[in-house]
Amino acid sequence: MKSETNIKNIIKMFFMVTIISMFFLNVSFAASIGTINVETANLRESASKDSAVLELISLNEKVEIIEKVNDWYKVKYKGIEGYLRGDLIKISDEVQTTQENTNNTNTNAVNNVSENKNTTDESTTEKNNTKVDQVQTEQENRQNETQEENQLEKFKILEDTKIKIIPTINAMNIVDVKKDEEVKAIEFINGWVCIETQTAKGWIREEKINKIDETISNNEEEQQPQQSQQPEQVTGETEEKKTTEEQPQETPQTKKKYINSPSVNLRTQPNTNCEVLKSITINTEVEVISEANGWSKVKVDGLEGYVSSKLLSDTKKETSRGMTEERKTVEDANTQQTSTTVNTTSSTRGAEILETANKYMGAKYVYGGTTPSGFDCSGFTFYVYKQHGITLNRTAAAQYSNGVAVSRDELQQGDLVMFGKSGINHVGIYIGEGRFIHAANPSRGVTTDTIDSGYYYTNYVGARRVL
């Protein structure tokens, strides 16, 4: 009887300790990670929309949640402690999973104790089974991590090149990668590939990389003839296969040719729908690298690009000096007249764009909004330009590929200005004298700011002219 009483007392104490532990574990595992769910969120000094802004945090960035204060969260971001409004943060689901795992663990512990009161042998067996399950779970997690890692295909860099922040020819360069460096391919888009090195991640052209598995396969095919009983026949098949595989690759050439038309566009790709790198005048000498499908890949003035093969000749076009000087005079006059017309038109349309934009001064900020009832930054520029018959891409990063690049000292009214820390995540419309209009954030809505100081000065990325 005394023994049974002791066992009952022990069980009661264990249940009490378990319940108390569950309570404290639930408190300690309260939500500690949050994800920003708007394009730009202000990290403030105190829990008030009127307090000073310590930092701007971009969409999908993580913050550590310290505590909740009414409708605000006190958080830590890159070592900075401040406050964010509750509606700007999404609590991560992974924390809830941790709580469920903790509750399940406590429930299993209670069940184990209930079973243990029968015999000591059953307790020992249950503990051993639990340890085996834990080891198997850890092994499965490691296998899953290894599988995810192996899913990224490995490639080798074919020549020294620069990694760009976004997939466009005029995008900002991040770092250099060297020839034969091994990288991982994450995503392929329109002739560009997002790669990951040991120190950086960004975009390069597809033709700059070669899959490592293909190189290994070729080497194995070259080694097979040495092991075969019929070396001559297998060698012939291998050489034929190797030649077939190499056909799609461009064969370098060293021919010199000349432009045979007054003005020819050097393009980024062998088609007329792609971006123009520069215009080349008649009789300009170019180095032909390769030719395929009616297009020639050429190098001129340090730039590589594509021109139509029919616009190239083996010799210069014969022109008299008088005709050349007369043509130059006419071209100069036309260029001056065209430049004046373009600048006047661009300036006029820029003023019209700003007149439309100013109508929505003070409109509220709504993430994903593209109408006067609520805008986000790219939704605002998208809507304003659409009123003038110009269709932009939808996001700030994608709008960086619209129009042509403009240097900071050549900005005009109506130009798009882009900002960001680790990529483009904000856009506005240039007004003049260093100021621009934009949908800033939920607390300010559509307003104006300067690019000559503060956050927008240090995080300025570039500008595009679409007029």
Distance CA 152, CA 155 (A): 10
Domain range list for the chain: 2-148, 152-249, 255-313, 346-465
* pLDDT at residue 142 greater than cutoff 90: no
Q: Are 61 and 447 in contact (CB under 8 A)?
A: no
* pLDDT at residue 179 greater than cutoff 50: yes
Least confident of 230-234, 342-346, 419-423: 230-234
Question: 3-state DSSP call for residue 201?
Answer: strand
Which pTM value belongs to this model?
0.33
Q: Are 89 and 73 in contact (CB under 8 A)?
A: yes
346-465 is classed CATH 3.90.230.10: no
- 152-249 fold: SH3 type barrels. (2.30.30)
Distance CA 181, CA 218 (A): 19
* pLDDT at residue 390 greater than cutoff 80: yes
* Residue range 13-61, pLDDT digits in tens: 766 755 555 544 443 334 478 899 888 888 999 999 888 888 889 888 9
Position 239 scores a pLDDT of 53
* Residue range 264-273, pLDDT digits in tens: 888 899 988 7
Mean pLDDT for the chain overall = 76
Question: 3-state DSSP call for residue 248?
Answer: coil
* pLDDT at residue 223 greater than cutoff 70: no
**Right CATH for 255-313 from 2.30.30.40, 2.40.37.10, 1.10.760.10, 1.10.3720.10:** 2.30.30.40
* Residue range 116-127, pLDDT digits in tens: 444 444 544 555
* Residue range 311-324, pLDDT digits in tens: 999 898 875 444 44
The neighbouring-strand residues paired with 404 are 465
Question: 3-state DSSP call for residue 314?
Answer: coil
Position 217 scores a pLDDT of 42
Q: Which amino acid is present at 55? A: E
For residue 258, give every residue at least 6 positions away whose Cβ sits within 8 Å of its Cβ, in sequence order, or none: 283, 284, 285, 286, 312, 313, 314, 315, 316, 317
What CATH architecture applies to the domain 2-148? Roll (2.30)
DSSP string, 74-125: EEEETTEEEEEEGGGEEE-HHHHHHHHHHHHHHHHHHHHHHHHTT-HHHHHH
Does 255-313 match 2-148 at the fold level? yes
DSSP string, 222-239: HHHHHHSS-HHHHHHHHH
Position 224 scores a pLDDT of 47
Please report how the helices 231-246 and 212-227 are oriented relative to each other, as an axis angle in degrees rounded to 10. 160
Position 452 scores a pLDDT of 92
